[in-house]
Amino acid sequence: MFRLVSFNLNGVRSAANKGLLPWAEAHAADCMGVQELKAQAADMGPELREIAGMPGHFHHAEKKGYSGVGLYSRHAPSDVIIGLGAAEHAVDGCGEFDAEGRYVEMRFDKPGRKLSVISCYFPSGSSSEERQEAKFRFLDVIRPHLAKLRAEREFILVGDVNIAHKEADLKNWKGNLKNSGFLPEERAWMTQLLEPAGDIGLVDVYRRLHPDTTDACYTWWSNRGQARAKNVGWRIDYHLATPGLAATAKTASVFKDQWFSDHAPLTIDYDFSI
């Protein structure tokens, strides 16, 4: 069994102060993809560079206290790709987003098999029109990258995609039809990514296991208006997998018994081994 976690930490140091480390120890994941480190390399002490026996690899943003992603794994990778521009299939326009620390890929290749786990943090467009335009540019960059990966290897991308795909994925869908994260263009992008007959054909693994959940599926809550207490949430954190890996998924859970962030960790257990 391979236990994989996706978790937007909203600051790795803040999450650690709220109990992340003992939770991770008890949770016993094989790999954990994290987003929004909000820390530079110099800020990452040994207790943050390795968590629960899992050494980490990180993509830090140039801007202090902003973005940043990481992948922790108790299994040694065959290769680590830091940033979209470092991949062999780098696409035009990725430099803007590599400066923001948004992509880490671990490869676990062996004879007869190419397999990757990716931690990715998609931009939010909620703060301004300029950031929404940046989000659309990121979607234009990441899609061909994923298509090229899909052509040559199995992978699971975990991360905060900052898009709720369908009405069941957020509490107040009617009130958010014109808001970033639930715009028609964003949702159409997700639909195309998940189209089985498409050129990528990824699987939303949580929805494969729980096609009908609504209130229980949310992974993020605003800090405003008692959203968490009222469970006015969004499902914007995903496991997006190639079909062969997605088919091995056995259980999925969103941990809400303790709060380390404005997001909750999403864990999926897969029936394969590294």
Please say if the pLDDT value at position 90 is more than 80.
Answer: no
Strands 31-35 and 2-8 come out as parallel
Domains along the chain with CATH numbers: 2-270 (3.60.10.10)
pLDDT in tens, 109-127: 999 999 999 999 999 999 8
Please say if the pLDDT value at position 181 is more than 70.
Answer: yes
Please say if the pLDDT value at position 88 is more than 90.
Answer: no
pLDDT band at 81 (very low <50, low <70, confident <90, very high): very high
3-state secondary structure 116-158: EEEEEECCCCCCCHHHHHHHHHHHHHHHHHHHHHHHHCEEEEE
The catalytic residue positions are 160
* pLDDT of the residue at 89: 65
Measured distance CA(173)–CA(164) in Å, rounded: 9
Measured distance CA(69)–CA(83) in Å, rounded: 10
Question: In the chain, what is the straight-line distance between the N-terminal and C-terminal CA atoms, in Å?
Answer: 9
* pLDDT of the residue at 86: 80
pLDDT in tens, 205-230: 999 999 999 999 999 999 988 999 99
pLDDT in tens, 5-46: 999 999 999 999 999 999 999 999 999 999 999 999 999 999
